[in-house]
């Protein structure tokens, strides 16, 4: 009888202690971890601007500031004829017609984030510089002066598919010097929102407008970002380099 009473008492104590035990145990359990969106970091691209005569850059916290003279490192009929880089037009456009502009030294700065992210409210690209290529030449958007289509202006693009607006040399379309030098799938530069621009080839396939979103980009792996990043592509049809605006938040551009 005594043993039975001892058993019942022990069982009672155990049952009373059981909720406290589990309550204490649950208090020490970690809360489910939140899903954190991967943050892009374009710092690895900065070294591709090293040793480029036209470009200098400095990093401050999570931003980078590029300064460019905008002088191309390749030949063009838009150089002064006394320049060692002067070369008469030898491209493939039978309708080529030189515009009255010339290549002149600029002082253009871009300050942009090193951690680009999609903007909640997208902004249109401005006329004039919208980004910087890896040789320091600036990118313009898909419009000619006054917001007109590039249809006629294309006939003034030199053999590397660039031309000047007055004295500001720039690319609207695929910069052939860069894709021939680095490859058609290579990193070509950055737009002002910090997202990279790549050539017309990806994984051995030519990218078309149908592969891209309204901003002329998409998210996939690139040679520099094997885990994927949003990026723009140049294509051989309008809008060529950028569509309806910046995918991310544009930085500042001064000239």
Whether 85 is covered by a domain: the verdict is yes
Domain containing 183 equals: 43-254
The whole-number pLDDT of residue 123 equals 96
Whether 33 is covered by a domain: the verdict is no
Instruction: Please list, residue by residue across 181-206, b when 16 or more beta carbons sit within 10 angstroms of its beta carbon and e when fewer do.
Output: ebebbbbbbbbbbbbbbbbbbbeeee
* Number of domains the chain is built from: 1
Whether 9 is covered by a domain: the verdict is no
Phi-psi region at 212: left, alpha or beta (left = phi > 0; alpha = psi -120 to 50)? beta
**In terms of residues, how long is the chain?**
255
The whole-number pLDDT of residue 146 equals 86
Whether 34 is covered by a domain: the verdict is no
Phi-psi region at 49: left, alpha or beta (left = phi > 0; alpha = psi -120 to 50)? alpha
Mean pLDDT by 10 residues, the chain (255 residues): 43 40 37 48 97 97 98 98 98 97 98 97 96 98 92 96 98 98 98 98 97 98 97 97 94 97
Whether 18 is covered by a domain: the verdict is no
The whole-number pLDDT of residue 194 equals 98
Secondary structure (3-state) at 65: strand
Whether 23 is covered by a domain: the verdict is no
> Residue 3 belongs to what H/E stretch?
helix 2-27
Phi, psi (degrees; rounded to nearest 5) at 136: 95, -15
The whole-number pLDDT of residue 145 equals 87
CB 112 within 8 A of CB 63: yes
Whether 36 is covered by a domain: the verdict is no
Whether 168 is covered by a domain: the verdict is yes
């Amino acid at each position: 009888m005594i043993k039975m009473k001892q058993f019942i008492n022990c069982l009672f104590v155990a049952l009373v202690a059981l909720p406290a035990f589990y309550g204490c145990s649950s208090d020490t359990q970690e809360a489910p971890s939140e899903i954190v969106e991967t943050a892009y970091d374009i710092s690895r691209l900065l070294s591709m601007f090293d040793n480029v005569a036209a470009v200098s850059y400095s990093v401050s916290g999570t931003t980078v500031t590029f300064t460019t003279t905008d002088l191309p490192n390749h030949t063009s009929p838009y150089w002064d004829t006394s320049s060692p880089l002067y070369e008469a037009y030898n491209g493939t456009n039978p309708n080529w017609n030189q515009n009255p502009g010339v290549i002149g030294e600029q002082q253009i700065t871009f300050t942009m984030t090193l951690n680009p992210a999609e903007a909640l409210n997208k902004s249109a690209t401005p006329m004039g510089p919208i980004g910087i290529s890896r040789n320091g030449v600036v990118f313009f958007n898909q419009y000619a002066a006054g917001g007109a289509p590039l249809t006629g202006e294309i006939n003034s693009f030199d053999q590397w598919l660039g031309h000047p607006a007055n004295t500001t040399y720039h690319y609207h379309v695929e910069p052939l010097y860069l894709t021939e030098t680095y490859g058609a799938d290579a990193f070509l530069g950055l737009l002002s929102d910090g997202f990279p621009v790549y050539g017309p080839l990806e994984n051995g396939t030519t990218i078309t407008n149908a592969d891209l979103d309204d901003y002329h980009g998409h998210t996939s792996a690139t040679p520099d970002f094997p885990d994927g990043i949003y990026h723009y592509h140049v294509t051989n049809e309008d809008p060529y380099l950028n569509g309806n605006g910046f995918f991310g938040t544009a930085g500042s551009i001064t000239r």
